[in-house]
Amino acid sequence: MTKKRKQNWFMLLFALPFAGVGIGVLVFGVIPNLYEWQQMKRWPQVEARVLDAGLHTSRGDDSDTYRAYARYTYRYQMQDYTSERVAIMGGSDNIGDFQSDLARQLELAHRVEEPVPAWVNPNDPGDAVLNRELRWNMLGFKMIFVLVFGGVGIGLMIFTLKAKVGATDHPESSSKPWLAQQEWASPEVTCNSKVSLWVIWFFALIWNLISLPATLAVPDEWAGGNKLILIALIFPLAGIYLLYWAINSTLSWRRFGQLRLQLDPYPGSIGGQVGGTLTIPITYNPQQRFPVSLQCVRRYVTGSGKSRTSHESIVWQNNGLAQTKPAPGGGTSLGICFNVPANLPVSETYSDDYRFWRLELNADLPGVDLHRQFEIPVFATGEKSRAALPLSTSHPQLNDEREASIEAVANIQQIPGGVRMHYPMLHGAGNNLVGLVCGLFFGGAGVLMHFESDAPAVIVWAFTLIGGLITFICLKWLFTSLHVQLDHNGLISERYWLGMPIGRDQIPRADIQKLYIDVSSRGQSAKGYQEMCKIIALTNSGKKIPVAMNLKGRDTAQLALEAIGGLSGYGTTVRSF
C-alpha cells in the first residue's frame, strides 16, 4: 500500500466519528421527533388528571438544565392508563423557557385539580403526551450538530475519496513525476463531473427529506398563529435550489457525458505551453464561443481538529476562448492552448498546503449550459504544443467579448486630454440582490424570534446583527453610483447614493502615482471560478481611489486599464495582484 493510500485511510477514520455524530443526531434525534410530531397530529385528544408535576433541575459546572416532569392518568376506550411522558422531546435542556413554563402550567393544574388535555397513540394507548408542540429552537440546536459535525465528517470523507490515490511505484516516476498519479498515466484526462453529480444528488435528497416535515407544517402552524414558522421556509427553499442544481447537472451529464481532454503537450509545461483538444457532442456552430480558463491554484488547510477549514487561492490565471472546428466523427472539436511563464509552481501531491493546475471550460448553450473542470499535470518540461495549436488568448473574438463586458458595467467617454466614466446604480446587481435577500431573511428572522419566541438572546442578536449588516452593505452597493473624470488636470471622483452625494475626491495629476488592478471579490459560481476586479488610482500619500469597478476577470480589467491609461496618459502597473 502506498503512503498516499495510508493517508487516505487515516483521513477516512478521522472523519468517521464526526460523520457518525452528525448522522446519529439526525437519525436518532431529529427525524424521530419530526415523525412523531406529524403522527401526533392524528392522535385523539382526551382529558388527563395530573397526579404529580414539577421541574427537575440538573446542576452543572457551567450551567443548569431543566426538565418538566409529570405523572397523569387518562381514560381511552373504556380503559384507564397512567403515563409520564410530557413532551415530544424528552431530556433536560436550557434552550429558552419551555421547560419552566410547562412545569408551571402542570403544577397549577395539579394544585387546583383541573384536567389537562392529553393526546393518545391509538396504536398503543399506553403512549400519550401532554404537549405535542415541536420546539423549533430545540430542533435548530440539534441541527447545529448535524450540520457542523456531519458536514465536517462527510465533507472530509468525500474530499478524501475524490483525492488522487496515486499509482503504485511506476518505474519512471522518479524522472517523470506525473506518472506517479493514476489519472495522469496517459495524455487523456477526464473531467470530474460524474463524482460531483452523485455528491450533489446525495445532499439534495438528504436535505429535502429533512425539510419535508417543516414544509408540511407551515400551513397549520401559520393558521395557528405561529409566525415564527416562516423561518422554516429557508429549508425547503434551499432544498428546491439543490434539486434544481442536481437536475441541471444530470441534464448536462446526459447531454455531454464524460469529456476527455487529450493533452498537448503531455504533460502541460511550465515555461512552455498547456492545452490540448477535446470533442463536444454538439453540432458545430462557428459563432458559438467556448470560454476557457487555466488556473494555478493553491489549496491549503487552516485550523486543527474539527476547526479545520479548506481554502483556495489563485496563484496565476489566464483566460481565453477555445478554437473550434467540426470534429471528424461529428460534433465540435475544441483546441485549447496557453503560454505559461517559467516562474510558476509545478503540480504538487496532495497535502495540507499544495498547488495544482485546473482547466475550466464553459459555454452558454441553448438548453443546458456546459461547465467542466479538468485537473491536469503541469511540470517544468519547457515543451510546446506538438500540433502547434493556436493560442486561446489570441482568439479573434476575445477582445470583442472583453469590451462588451466593460460596456455592460460602465459608460466610458473620451474627453479632451482624458476620459470620463459613469457607473450607474444597480451595477453588479446580481450578487448584491442575492445578498440582500439573505440579509433581509436573517435580519427578519432575528426580529421575528424576538417578538414571537423565547429564543436565547444571543441567537436573536446574532441573526439580527448579521442580517442587518449584510442588508446595509448590499443596499449601499446596489444604489451607489460613481462618476470619474481622469485627465491632464488630475482625478475627480464623485460617489452618490440614490442620487445624493456621499463623497468626493479631487486629486491633482502630480499627486497620482499610478493606476493598477485589484481583485475586489473571488469565488466559485455555477460557471466556475470567477474574479471581480477594479482599477485603483494610488496617490503619493497612499490613498486608494476607485476608478473602475465590477470588471469580470483579470483580462477584462487589464484591457480597461490599458484603455484608461492610454486615453488619460497616466502610468499603469501591469497585472498587479
Mean pLDDT of the chain: 82
At residue 522 the predicted structure's pLDDT band, cuts being 50, 70 and 90, is low
Element (H, E) at 550: strand 544-552
Would the pTM of this model clear 0.75, i.e. be above it? no
Eight-state DSSP code of residue 347: P
Q: Is the four-CA dihedral 223, 137, 118, 107 of positive or negative sign?
A: negative
Q: State the average pLDDT over residues 473-499.
A: 86
Q: Check pLDDT > 90 for residue 576.
A: no
Q: Check pLDDT > 90 for residue 54.
A: yes
Q: How would you class 318 by CB atoms within 10 Å of its CB: exposed for 0-12, middle for 13-18, buried for 19 or more?
A: buried
The residue among 550 and 321 whose pLDDT is bigger is 321
φ, ψ for residue 25 (rounded to 5)? -65, -40
Q: Is the four-CA dihedral 89, 92, 93, 94 of positive or negative sign?
A: positive
Model pLDDT, residue 445? 77
Class of domain 397-423+479-577 as given by CATH: mainly beta
Q: What's the topology of domain 178-191+258-394?
A: Immunoglobulin-like (2.60.40)
pLDDT digits (tens, 9 = 90+) for 188-203: 998 877 667 777 887 7
pLDDT digits (tens, 9 = 90+) for 392-444: 988 888 777 766 766 666 677 788 888 888 888 876 666 677 778 778 877 88
E strand segments, 229-302: 260-263, 268-269, 273-280, 291-302
Q: How would you class 77 by CB atoms within 10 Å of its CB: exposed for 0-12, middle for 13-18, buried for 19 or more?
A: exposed
pLDDT digits (tens, 9 = 90+) for 118-156: 999 999 999 999 998 888 778 777 777 776 776 677 666
CB neighbours (10 Å) of residue 550?
22
High-pLDDT (> 90) share of the chain, %? 25
